[in-house]
């Protein structure tokens, strides 16, 4: 099963993707994690991404697509994957369609977590204090939410027009949200969401 998990920064995509990975037995691919790993390793793509991420901006499409293509070539993605944090704009959504068509792995479902900005700011502030991630700084998060509203939110329409999108209430206990996601997958894809 090939899934895109959409939602604003701090909406719980990473937490829920990890739960879906465990439930469905498929790879969890976070472009944020791919980027952070590249930055930490000091790869050429990582060095380009570092200054952009620290400023709260989105990393260029070519960098992210390059990292993603490398990741999708790994064997653990053959049975499916959950994309967390990608695509972030319409150009990326089109590029992803092209990449997946070349790989013969079209998407099965797109799930969007809906969480109010006030809840996101509260969540990311707690994570910033606990983990110290530069991209969780409250000022950076506000900028990222503005960018999300302008660039990423329209991606939901892109997938809705293709009959792939299901919107999920992302507020509540983690287990409740996970159950909503699994229920939506089962409704959208039928037995494919059963393990």
Catalytic residues: 13, 88, 127, 133, 144
Q: At what angle do helices 61-72 and 44-54 cross, to 10 degrees?
A: 130
Alpha carbon of 162 to those of 93, 98, 128: distances in Å? 12, 15, 36
CB atoms within 10 A of CB 130: 9
Contact 11, 170 (CB under 8 A): yes
Tokens found for residue 132 = 């110290």
CB atoms within 10 A of CB 84: 25
Alpha carbon distance 179, 108 (integer Å):
18
């Amino acid at each position: 099963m090939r899934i895109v998990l959409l939602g604003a920064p701090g909406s719980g995509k990473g937490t829920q993707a990890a739960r879906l990975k465990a439930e469905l037995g498929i790879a969890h691919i976070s472009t944020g994690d791919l980027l952070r790993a590249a930055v930490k390793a000091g790869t050429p793509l990582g060095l380009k991404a570092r200054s952009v991420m620290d400023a709260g901006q989105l990393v260029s499409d070519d960098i992210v697509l390059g990292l993603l293509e490398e990741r999708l070539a790994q064997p653990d993605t053959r049975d499916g994957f959950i994309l967390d944090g990608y695509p972030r704009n319409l150009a990326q959504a089109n590029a992803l369609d092209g990449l997946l068509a070349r790989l013969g792995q079209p998407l099965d479902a797109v799930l969007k977590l809906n969480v109010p900005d006030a809840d996101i700011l509260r969540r990311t502030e707690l994570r910033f204090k606990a983990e110290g991630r530069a991209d969780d700084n409250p000022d950076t998060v506000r900028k990222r939410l503005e960018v999300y509203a302008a660039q990423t939110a329209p991606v939901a329409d892109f997938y809705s027009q293709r009959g792939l999108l299901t919107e999920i209430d992302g507020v509540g206990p983690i287990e409740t949200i996970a159950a909503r996601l699994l229920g939506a997958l089962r409704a959208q894809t039928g037995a494919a969401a059963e393990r």
